[in-house]
Amino acid sequence: MKNGFLAFLFCLFLSGSGFAVSGNEAVNYVVNSSRFIYEGESYTPPNVAIEFEGKGYWVIPIASGSSVITYFAVDSSSGKLSVSRAVNRGLFGVADNLRELQLLKASITPSSGVEWVFTQNYRAIFSEMSLQLGDEVYQLNTVQTALQQESISVDMSGLKAQLVSMAGQASSISEKISAAAVAENDFFTKPSGENLGALKSAYAGVTASISQLNSAALAYNSSRNALKNQISVADIDAQTKGQMLSTLDTPPSLQKLGNYNLYSIQVQDKISSAFQSSTLRADSLLDEFDRRIAKNEADSLIFGQSERVKQATGFNSLSEAQAAILSKESRLKWEDQAKVRDLEHDYQSAVDFYSNKRDFAQAKKFALLAADDAIAVYRAGERKSPPGGGISQDTLFKLAGLLLVVLVLLYAFNNRGKLKEAISRGPEEVDVYGN
């Protein structure tokens, strides 16, 4: 009963969080439990998981300075690193576009000269514009009535139709801005390829609609100015004429439309440029990811635990095995000295390619060769008798001295009779007088 209750709580926890692996756990795997990154590089813990093909992934950017070098995507359910190039292309693209868009929004400030038009503020602006343009129809009716009173017949149906059309366009823009803001929030909180596509479409739709409204406003202003010119030369008293011309001034709602259109175009250009940059560096991000995988594999072969090396040598890693074999105390005791020399060469080459040249394919190649060398050395075993080269020069001198003493003693023993006779005889006397 107790176990069942605990299982229920565990399932409840998973269903509440939605992820078996947290973002921090994914970061720990990439940054601390593996050897993917270099010293001095930085990373940003992900705030939200990215969805791709029905799965969630924690996508971690690795940066050098302010530039992202590559990404690592960890499955939020299994905790496994995604190594599929096709899957990573989609994940890296979404993550990079998300990052670029966040940086772009942060760069647009009141002092930047550009305004982000996909906001509730601009939704309200175009909603109000729609109402004002609708009211302009009544202003035209007022002018038309005044002209009729002066016996001047003017067809304003075209102008009225333009205003009605623009009012509808402004209302549509207001709705599109609201939809773009929702799409933006959806992408920021639930990033996916589908939400990114919807956001791009929403942005482009707002920009295109504002541009169309601006063109319609320019055409309306041209028609309105033609009417004002017609009134200005009509035989009407100055006061009435002035009132008509004032009524036909540019509607307040259209006076800033040109600026709104400019902001929209500038923002869209920046968005397109940011998205294009992400597309252009996609292959570079993927290639660097492949290099980091090779780096981690080479590191594991050289410094990591190896069951194969451990079974053959008793040491946990190639690094430990080569250090023991090549140590000053044991180097000369091994039977297969050729493999000892191969081990030294191959291991040094592996480390050089790994640490200095960053050629991880070559590092892996020489690490595998070095592991074979170390295993071969242990299989051949130690020498049965110490090699001559293992006796120090000091010992040789001592042995030579001892041998010399032995030879002298042997000579004395073998010639003891002669030596005894020579000692007993004494020196011969010499007769100096010849007697």
Per-residue pLDDT, 1: 39
426 or 378, greater pLDDT: 378
Q: Return the percentage of the chain with pLDDT > 70, whole number.
A: 86
Look at the alpha carbons of 206, 209, 215, 220 in this order and tell me if their dihedral is positive or negative: negative
Give the pLDDT mean for 348-364. Answer: 97
Residue 206 · residue 177 · CB < 8 Å:
yes
Per-residue pLDDT, 347: 98
Give the pLDDT mean for 393-413. Answer: 68
Give the pLDDT mean for 206-235. Answer: 90
* pLDDT above 60: residue 425: no
pTM: 0.77
* pLDDT above 80: residue 21: yes
Residue 29 · residue 79 · CB < 8 Å:
yes
Per-residue pLDDT, 13: 39
In tens, the pLDDT along 129-159 reads 999 998 888 888 888 888 878 778 888 889 9
Distance CA 371, CA 362 (A): 14
Give the pLDDT mean for 108-132. Answer: 92
Helix (H) or strand (E) holding 211: helix 193-232
Distance CA 380, CA 221 (A): 97
Phi, psi of 129 (to 5 degrees): -60, -40
* pLDDT above 90: residue 235: no
Per-residue pLDDT, 227: 85
Short-list 131, 134, 141, 128, CA closest to 248: 141
* pLDDT above 60: residue 14: no
The confidence band for 313, taking pLDDT boundaries of 50, 70 and 90, is very high
Q: State both tokens at 50.
A: 């990215």
* pLDDT above 90: residue 281: yes
The confidence band for 421, taking pLDDT boundaries of 50, 70 and 90, is low
DSSP state of 78: T
Per-residue pLDDT, 424: 58
Look at the alpha carbons of 195, 84, 89, 93 in this order and tell me if their dihedral is positive or negative: positive
**What is the residue-averaged pLDDT of the chain?**
87
Per-residue pLDDT, 10: 37
Residue 134 class from Cβ within 10 Å (0-12 exposed, 13-18 middle, 19+ buried)?
A: middle
Short-list 381, 368, 297, CA closest to 337: 381
Domain ranges of the chain: 18-106, 120-281, 298-380, 393-424
Give the pLDDT mean for 14-20. Answer: 55
| Helical spans, DSSP H, in 233-314 | 238-247, 252-255, 257-280, 282-303, 307-313
Per-residue pLDDT, 193: 96
113 or 352, greater pLDDT: 352
Residue 220 · residue 159 · CB < 8 Å:
yes
Q: CB count, 10 Å around CB of 119?
A: 15
9-18, 199-208, 402-411: which range is least confident on average? 9-18
Give the pLDDT mean for 196-206. Answer: 97
Per-residue pLDDT, 404: 75
19 or 57, greater pLDDT: 57
Give the pLDDT mean for 380-406. Answer: 67
**Residue 132, C-beta contacts closer than 8 angstroms, at least 6 positions apart:** 251, 252, 253
Q: Which residues pair with 56 in a beta bridge?
A: 51
Per-residue pLDDT, 394: 54
* pLDDT above 60: residue 19: yes
Collapse the DSSP code of 63 into the 3-class scheme (helix H, G, I; strand E, B; otherwise coil) and give the result. Answer: strand
Short-list 351, 386, 382, CA closest to 366: 351
* pLDDT above 80: residue 414: no
The confidence band for 15, taking pLDDT boundaries of 50, 70 and 90, is very low
Per-residue pLDDT, 251: 80
The confidence band for 125, taking pLDDT boundaries of 50, 70 and 90, is very high
48 or 435, greater pLDDT: 48
Give the pLDDT mean for 182-190. Answer: 97
Per-residue pLDDT, 4: 43
Phi, psi of 42 (to 5 degrees): -120, 165
70 or 401, greater pLDDT: 70
**Residue 38, C-beta contacts closer than 8 angstroms, at least 6 positions apart:** none
Q: State both tokens at 62.
A: 């690795």
Give the pLDDT mean for 47-56. Answer: 96
Helix (H) or strand (E) holding 366: helix 360-380
In tens, the pLDDT along 67-108 reads 999 999 999 999 999 999 999 999 999 999 999 999 999 999
Q: Return the percentage of the chain with pLDDT > 90, whole number.
A: 68
